[in-house]
Amino acid sequence: MAPALPVSPLARPLPELGSIRGVRLGAAAAGIRYQNRTDLVLAEFIAGTTVAGVFTKSKCPGAPVDWCRDILPDGEARVLVVNAGNANVFTGKAGRETCTVTADAAAQLAGCSPRNVYLASTGVIGEILPHERITAALPALHASLSETGWEAAARGIMTTDTFPKAAIRTATLNGATVTLQGIAKGSGMIAPDMATMLGFITTDAAIPAPVLQRLLSEEIKTTFNCITVDSDTSTSDMALLFATGTAENAAIDENTTTDAPILGAFKAALHSVLKELALLVIRDGEGVTKLITIQVSGAVSDDSAWRVAMAIGNSPLVKTAIAGEDANWGRVVMAVGKCGEPADRDTLSVSIGGVCIAHNGTVVAGYDETPVVNHMKGQEIEIEVSLGLGNGSARIWSCDLTHGYIDINGSYRS
């Protein structure tokens, strides 16, 4: 077992977490891969809890992803079971059996259908996940569940994460005050294209599953879909949103659209929670020393701007230059030019730390590099690119690439 990793220099402390009415949760040490730490998380939801989910676009998804995709159309959840250390990916029939046995065992404890049990796994790919370790630990874990088990759950889903991640917000919804609280894990293999490695958000709001799904799918686009550590999309990425309905807000019609004024405050709070969790993942990027914000404007469309921004954020040359605190704006230009999106050298402008370095295809005459050099020495780096072609824009977040990333991933299975 590799030694514990030092806490990321960009880490943030856990916020003061409350509880979500209708949710009890906790964590236990099942010995799935790790020793002397929790690696199994269980959450139980009150009857009537609705659920929404987004999943990896990987063509080699884990068995838990397939399981959740299959039951999601039912729109109701009673249980969530998450294990860390073994992803249950590329495990064939054995992987599917682990999902079935785990769901059956959890359903018996909660008194519900296995189709109301959501499963998630994270960790090493290609190793059989021994379901007997999970099912043996579940009864005692279920008996210990608590409304205040959030920190334990946040820690129990960690793999190479160096700190637990959580966020909480409140909002008004149809005459009631509602709370949203979520946890996430992720550190490497982060270029989600849907969510993060794993993210679980709960709310006491009463929202029909179809509305919940539309909200989550929309807000994922500008939060978890806008982060990258290393350009690699996991086989296990999953974000689930559970609504217990215990806030007893007035009923919302299932045909309500996401732009309806009635959903405005809740939608903003959901976005805020998702964004905070996404940024916490970047702050815990493997080997990270700097958080990078990349803003692209003037693209032919928002989608094009996003692809340009991700090309910059994924470039090893950009990421290593930032790790070395080198304001090498030429590497930004390189990333823009290679990504296959519309761009024109003679309308392109680049700024770092708010200082315009290159404008309309050439370096700004006499620009003072001193404030840029000072900016590069900080922990949060800002890059702005204007393509000068249209009104499309996007913002994404990345991190630097250091030798620490190689150290962590070179010994991941040892």
What residues are labeled active site? Answer: 196
Task: Write phi, then psi, for 407 (nearest 5 degrees).
Answer: -60, -45
Q: 409: annotated binding-site residue? A: yes
Q: 374: annotated binding-site residue? A: no
Please give the Cα distance from 263 to 273 (Å, whole number).
15
Q: 414: annotated binding-site residue? A: yes
CA distances from 178 to 168, 213, 243, 282 (A): 11, 18, 10, 28
Q: Give the single-character DSSP code of 50.
A: E
278 CB-near residues (< 8 Å, 6+ apart): 184, 196, 223, 224, 226, 227, 397
User: What tokens appear for 22 in the block?
Assistant: 């209708």
Give the residue from 70, 67, 115, 116 showing the smallest Cα distance to 91: 67
Pairing of strands 291-299, 380-386: parallel
Q: 144: annotated binding-site residue? A: no
Q: 159: annotated binding-site residue? A: yes
320 CB-near residues (< 8 Å, 6+ apart): 400, 401
User: What tokens appear for 212 in the block?
Assistant: 């919940």
Q: Give the single-character DSSP code of 232.
A: P
Per the document, the length of the chain is: 414
Q: 369: annotated binding-site residue? A: no
Which residues contribute to the annotated binding site?
159, 185, 196, 286, 409, 414
Which residues contribute to the annotated binding site for substrate?
159, 185, 196, 286, 409, 414
